[in-house]
Amino acid sequence: MSSSLHPMLNVAIRAARAAGAIINRAALDVEAVRISQKNINDFVTEVDHASEAAIIETLLTAYPHHGIHAEESGREHGNPHSDHIWIIDPLDGTTNFIHGFPVYCVSIALAVKGRVEQAVVYDPTRNDLFTATRGRGAYLNDRRIRVSKRTQLSESLIATGFPFRKGDNFPAYLKMMGDVMQRTAGLRRPGAAALDLAYVAAGFTDGFFETGLQPWDVAAGSLLVTEAGGLMGNFSGESAPIDQPECLAGNPRVYAQLVTLLRKYSSFDSAQRPSDERKERVSLKKRNAAAADDGAAEAQGDSAADQAFQAWSGDEGTADGPAQA
C-alpha cells in the first residue's frame, strides 16, 4: 500500500485483502463450504460471515467510533450515529462463488455525511484492486483508469444483472434486455454488481444497468465510475442516491443513449413529474458548468451527457476527471 493514499483508503485496502485471503482459502474446497439460503436464489455462506467479520474488525480497530452498514450484519456494529459509515459487501457474487465460477469480489466504501468518499473493490481471484478517493481519480493496481471512449451504443459492450428475487418483474426485464441487446455489440451478466461497476470504470465494459440493488452493491462502484469520468444515475438519467434500486452507469455518451432506451422502464421518470423535471434540468445545468470549469472541451449542445463526454475526452492524460454525476 502506498503512503500517498488516504489513510482511510489504506485501512479499507487492508480490510479487503484480509477478506480476500479468507475467500481464496475457501475457494480451494468450495464444496466443503456451509451454505444457507436467505431468500429464493439468495445465498449466504460461512465465508460471507467470516470475511465480513475480518473487514469489520480491521475497520473498527483503526476507527472505533465509525459506523458500519454491512450486508450480513446490518448496522449492529460500530456507531450508527457517526458521520463516517463503512458500507460493506464481504462477498459480492456469492452464487458464483459457491459454484466455483470465479467472478466475485469484496466491496468496501466509506460514506462521510452520506457521500461516498473512499472506495475499494477487490477481486481476489485475479488479485485486482480497484480504488478511488473522491477528487483523486480511480485506479486499478496503482494504474489510473478511465471509462471507455466508445461513442456508439452499437459498438458497446453492456453488463447487466438478471432479476432473481420473488416479486421481481421478470417480463419487464426481458423487454429491457431485448431493447439493449438489439442495439449493442453484446450484453453480459457476470453476476457481481460491484465488479460490474469497476469494469465500467476501467473501460472493460461501456455501460451497466440493473434494478433491485442495495447500497452495499453500488456504493464503492459508484465512486469508481464517477472518478473514472463516467456517469451514474437511474434509468431516467437523474442522479440517484445509492439506496435507490435503479442503477445505470456508463461513459457519458453511452450513458445518454442507454437513458433513451431505458427511461420508459424507470420508476423515476421525470417526464411524468414536470416539477421534478424542471429541478433536474437546473441540476444538469450546474453539472455542465462544473464540467466547463474543469477545463473541458467546449460544449456542443444542451445535453448534459454530451458536455460530460467533452470534459472527459478533452482531459485525457490529466489528473482530474469531469464533474461528478
The model's pLDDT over 198-248, given as tens digits with 9 standing for 90+, comes to 999 999 999 999 998 999 999 999 999 999 999 999 999 998 788 888 999
pLDDT of residue 241: 83
Neighbours of 219 (CB within 10 A): 27
CA distance linking residue 321 with residue 308, whole number of Å: 10
Pairing state of beta strands 138-140 and 143-144? antiparallel
- Kindly give, in sequence order, each residue whose CB lies less than 8 Å from that of residue 43, ignoring residues fewer than 6 positions away: 35, 36, 37, 94, 95, 98
Instruction: Please list the residue range(s) of the chain that carry CATH number 3.40.190.80.
Output: 153-313
Helix locations, the chain, DSSP H: 7-27, 46-62, 94-98, 170-181, 193-202, 215-227, 252-262, 274-293, 304-313
What's the rounded Cα separation, in Å, for the pair 20 and 119?
Answer: 16
Cα distance between residue 179 and residue 95, in whole Å: 27
**Per-residue tens of pLDDT for the chain, all 325 residues:** 445 889 999 999 999 999 999 999 999 998 888 877 655 544 678 999 999 999 999 999 999 999 999 999 999 999 999 999 999 999 999 999 999 999 999 999 999 999 999 999 999 999 999 999 999 999 999 999 999 999 999 999 999 997 666 666 778 888 988 999 999 999 999 999 999 999 999 999 999 999 989 999 999 999 999 999 999 999 999 987 888 889 999 999 999 999 999 999 998 865 544 444 444 444 444 444 443 343 333 333 334 444 444 444 444 333 333 333 3
- Check: CB of residue 52 under 8 Å from CB of residue 72: yes
CA dihedral in degrees (17, 21, 23, 29; nearest 10)?
170
Looking at domain 7-144, what is its CATH homologous superfamily? Fructose-1,6-Bisphosphatase, subunit A, domain 1 (3.30.540.10)
User: Rounded to an integer, what is the distance from CA 48 to the centroid of its chain?
Assistant: 19
Spatial separation of the C-alpha atoms in residues 211 and 266, rounded to whole Å:
10
Closest CA to 262 of 231, 237, 230: 237
Q: Nine-digit cell at 217?
A: 452493491
With beta carbons less than 8 A apart as the criterion, state whether 188 and 206 touch: no
Q: Which residue has the cell 466504501?
A: 109
Instruction: Yes or no: say if 132 and 139 are a contact pair by the CB < 8 Å rule.
Output: yes
Q: How far apart are the first and last CA of the chain?
A: 28
> Which residue ranges does the chain devote to CATH 3.30.540.10?
7-144
pLDDT at 166: 66
Q: Could you report the per-residue pLDDT of 12-50, keeping only the tens digit for each?
A: 999 999 999 999 999 999 888 887 765 554 467 899 999
Written as nine digits, the cell of 13 is 485496502
Closest CA to 302 of 289, 316, 317, 315: 289
Q: How far apart are CA 46 and CA 42, in angstroms?
A: 14
What's the pLDDT score for residue 296? Answer: 35
Domain 153-313: CATH class, spelled out:
alpha beta
**Which residues fall in the annotated binding site for Mg(2+)?**
71, 89, 91-92, 217
Q: Which residues line the annotated binding site?
A: 71, 89, 91-92, 217
